[in-house]
């Protein structure tokens, strides 16, 4: 058996391909499907089957395009109500691919249509080898239960408890666990950074699986839910219908600096995808920075929304193409164009560039002692609760559709996150919202702790 995990850091998403006797199966494909076609060619196999473990909410899946390009069948849980040609699967459905058997477990909970796929490599053993758990079971966590219009989070959390204890945990401890997401995904909370685990390890160490009472489990899962970006329900709908092929997207239009200025005066969004330090040093005034180096697509989807039609600013054609694909992966397709010639063309056209000052943590500590600044922490709640800078104001980047209410516009604001990726995004949004005195902290809270500066813990 051939088996490969494809991990997409930008979305913390894992998809899979397995093959036997020349026939391949792809599970939870990302929107750009070229990687699976290339892998199939490299291994001399044909993609015949595509499984979706559920209707993904955090990205647009490539199942339609992959099916169109290979003739493969798509399999998805019956409860999905999928509107594309598919095989609706239920508990007990089995697919034999060469010497590999794929058995479906219906595991409602994260969503009502969720399934897990138990893989048995009959060439090696009659016992199951691995389970592809989708968003039912992650490494260290389980899927969030609040992405449905049909069921309440409490109802779904109850279903998830039953699915885990009556089905997934009935598997042998040796069975490997391959989930659809890793650390940083908003489909769960506290995922570990590894990419594979086993039923035994999860049984022993996964926080959610240590809760033995159904009632407590429901309580745990429905409190302190992670932020839910608006685009999540839209992506689930796109996936229910099946997205159009990426090749159908129109070419990006080059936009001159003077035209961009006019468009921005009328409210257009300029999205600068360069690294944060470059953006801080010089950028188009009013541009939003979301660098390609981090979880770019999730942040763009969450902060701009799928209806946005941004103009991209990048420093190479490759970066522009990369940004375009990554935006399409979450369903943000209406890119208006790109700034021709990048930031240099802006100043060449006689227009002024803006900058965001950056300071190190020692400098921040001095300024705080002189009470010259207000500190804004834009990390997520669990990070804030695990420790923060005394006196800081907390407003996570996920909430930035609304400006931080406790920040005084007349006092300089210094922004930090964990290591500097999110704080520059926040600085750019604050500048765009009219905050004039905005400074970024180099290295964020990690640098603060490394310099042994005081950390206070506890709730806000």
Minimum distance of Fe ion from residue 54's CB (angstroms) = 6
- Measured from the Cβ of residue 77, the count of other Cβ atoms closer than 10 Å reads 28
CA–CA separation, 227 and 57 (whole Å): 13
| Binding window for Fe ion (CB under 5 A); candidates: 99-107, 132-140, 204-212, 245-253 | 132-140
Task: Select 113 or 135, whichever has its Cβ closest to Fe ion.
Answer: 135
Residues 428 and 43: their CA atoms lie apart, in Å, by: 45
> In angstroms, what is the minimal distance from the CB of 124 to Fe ion?
30
Kindly tell me which of 136 and 439 has the beta carbon lying closer to Fe ion. 136
Query: Nearest to residue 312, comparing CAs of 299, 298, 300?
Result: 300
SS3 330: helix
Identity of the residue, 98 or 179, whose beta carbon is nearer to Fe ion in the bound complex = 179
At CA 430, angle to CA 424 and CA 431, rounded to 5? 90
Residues 258-297 that bind Fe ion (CB under 5 A): none
- Cβ neighbours of residue 181 closer than 8 Å, sequence gap 6 or more: 12, 13, 14, 58, 135, 138, 187, 188, 191
Listed ranges 116-124, 135-143, 264-272, 298-306: which one lies at the site for Fe ion (CB under 5 A): 135-143
> Quick check: 426 and 400 in contact, CB under 8 A?
yes
Which residue's CB is nearer to Fe ion, number 121 or number 135? Answer: 135
Give every CB contact of residue 318 below 8 A, 6+ residues apart in sequence: none
Q: How far is the CB of 77 from Fe ion (least distance, A)?
A: 12
Write out the H or E segment, with its range, that includes residue 118.
strand 115-121
Q: Cα 317 from chain centroid?
A: 24
* CA 184/CA 226 separation, integer angstroms: 11
Kindly state the smallest distance separating residue 144's Cβ from Fe ion, in Å.
8
Measured distance CA(190)–CA(212) in Å, rounded: 19
- Which residue matches tokens 């964020």? 444
52 near Fe ion, rule: CB under 5 A: no
**Minimum CB distance to Fe ion smaller for 133 or for 198:** 133
Q: Is position 65 an interface residue for Fe ion (rule: CB under 5 A)?
A: no
Check binding of 135 to Fe ion (CB under 5 A): yes
Biggest distance spanned by C-alpha atoms of the chain: 72
Instruction: Using the structure block, give the residue that is written with the tokens 């970024």.
Output: 440
Q: Which region among 79-87, 128-136, 273-281, 447-455 touches Fe ion (by CB under 5 A)? A: 128-136
Is 187 among the residues that bind Fe ion (CB under 5 A)?
Answer: yes
- Give the nearest distance from C-beta 188 to Fe ion in angstroms: 9
Assess 137 for contact with Fe ion (CB under 5 A): no
For Fe ion, the closer of residues 232 and 346 by Cβ is: 232
Residue 135 vs 141, nearer CB to Fe ion: 135
Q: Which residue is nearest to Fe ion (CB)?
A: 135
Q: How far is the CB of 56 from Fe ion (least distance, A)?
A: 5
Which of 136/374 has CB closer to Fe ion? Answer: 136
Choices 16-24, 97-105, 133-141, 155-163; region in contact with Fe ion by CB under 5 A: 133-141
- Give the strand pairing for 288-289 and 270-272: parallel
Compare residues 150 and 262 and give the one whose CB is closer to Fe ion. 150
- Point out which span in 4-12, 187-195, 221-229, 319-327 binds Fe ion (CB under 5 A): 187-195
| Least distance between Fe ion and beta carbon 33 (Å) | 19
Neighbour count for residue 401 (Cβ, 10 Å): 12
Least Cβ distance, residue 17 to Fe ion (angstroms): 19
Q: Is the Cβ of residue 106 or residue 135 nearer to Fe ion in the bound state? A: 135
Cβ-based nearer residue to Fe ion, 232 or 299:
232
Angle, in degrees to the nearest 10, between helices 231-241 and 296-304: 110
Report how many helices (DSSP H) and strands (DSSP E) the chain contains, helices first: 15, 22
Q: Which stretch binds Fe ion (CB under 5 A): 66-74, 92-100, 179-187, 358-366?
A: 179-187
Per DSSP, the three-state class of 46 is: strand
Secondary structure of residue 353 in the 3-state scheme:
coil
Q: What is the smallest separation between the CB atom of 148 and Fe ion, expressed in angstroms?
A: 11
Alpha carbon of 79 to those of 55, 201, 432, 436: distances in Å? 10, 30, 43, 51
Taking the complex as a whole, how short is the minimal distance between the CB of residue 157 and Fe ion, in angstroms? 15
Residues that contact Fe ion, how many (by CB under 5 A): 2
Stretch that binds Fe ion, among 7-15, 163-171, 181-189, 393-401 (CB under 5 A): 181-189
Asked if 13 contacts 7 with a C-beta cutoff of 8 angstroms, the reply is yes
Binding residues (CB under 5 A) for Fe ion: these are 135, 187
């Amino acid at each position: 058996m051939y088996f490969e995990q494809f991990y997409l850091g930008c979305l913390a998403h894992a998809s899979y391909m397995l093959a036997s006797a020349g026939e391949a199966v792809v599970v939870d494909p990302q929107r750009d499907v070229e990687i699976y076609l290339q892998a199939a060619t490299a291994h001399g196999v044909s993609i015949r089957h595509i499984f979706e473990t559920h209707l993904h909410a955090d990205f647009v899946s490539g199942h339609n395009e992959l099916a169109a390009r290979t003739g493969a069948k798509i399999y998805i849980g019956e409860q999905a109500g999928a509107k594309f040609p598919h095989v609706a699967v239920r508990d007990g459905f089995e697919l034999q691919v060469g010497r590999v058997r794929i058995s479906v477990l219906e595991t409602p909970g994260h969503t009502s249509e969720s399934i897990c796929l138990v893989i048995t490599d009959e060439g090696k053993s009659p016992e199951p080898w691995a389970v592809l758990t989708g968003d039912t079971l992650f490494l260290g966590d389980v899927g969030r239960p609040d992405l449905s219009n049909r069921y309440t989070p409490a109802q779904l959390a109850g279903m998830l408890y039953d699915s885990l204890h009556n089905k997934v945990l009935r598997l042998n401890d040796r069975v490997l666990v391959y989930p659809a997401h890793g650390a940083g995904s908003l489909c769960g909370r506290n995922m570990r950074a590894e990419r594979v685990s086993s039923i035994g390890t999860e049984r022993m160490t996964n926080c959610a699986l240590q809760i033995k009472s159904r009632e407590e489990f429901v309580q745990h899962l429905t409190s302190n839910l992670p932020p839910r970006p608006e685009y999540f329900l839209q992506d689930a709908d796109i996936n229910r219908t099946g997205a159009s092929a990426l090749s159908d997207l129109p070419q990006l239009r080059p936009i001159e600096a003077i035209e961009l200025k006019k468009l921005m005066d009328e409210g257009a969004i300029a999205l600068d995808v360069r690294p944060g330090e470059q953006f801080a040093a010089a950028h188009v005034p009013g541009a939003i920075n979301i660098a390609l180096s981090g979880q770019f697509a999730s942040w763009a989807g969450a902060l701009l929304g799928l209806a946005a039609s941004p103009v991209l600013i990048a420093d190479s054609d490759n970066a522009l193409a990369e940004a375009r694909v990554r935006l399409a992966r979450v369903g943000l397709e209406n890119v208006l164009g790109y700034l021709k010639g990048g930031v240099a063309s802006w100043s060449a056209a006689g227009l002024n560039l803006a900058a965001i000052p950056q300071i190190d943590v020692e400098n921040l500590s001095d300024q705080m002692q002189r009470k010259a600044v207000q500190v804004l922490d834009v990390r997520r709640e669990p990070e804030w609760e695990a420790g923060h800078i005394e006196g800081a104001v907390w407003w996570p980047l996920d909430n930035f559709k609304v400006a931080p209410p406790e920040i005084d516009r007349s006092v300089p604001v210094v922004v930090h996150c964990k290591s500097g990726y999110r704080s520059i995004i926040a600085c750019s949004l604050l500048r765009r919202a009219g905050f004039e005195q905005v400074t970024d902290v180099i290295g964020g809270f990690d640098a603060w702790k490394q310099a042994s500066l005081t950390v206070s813990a506890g709730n806000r």
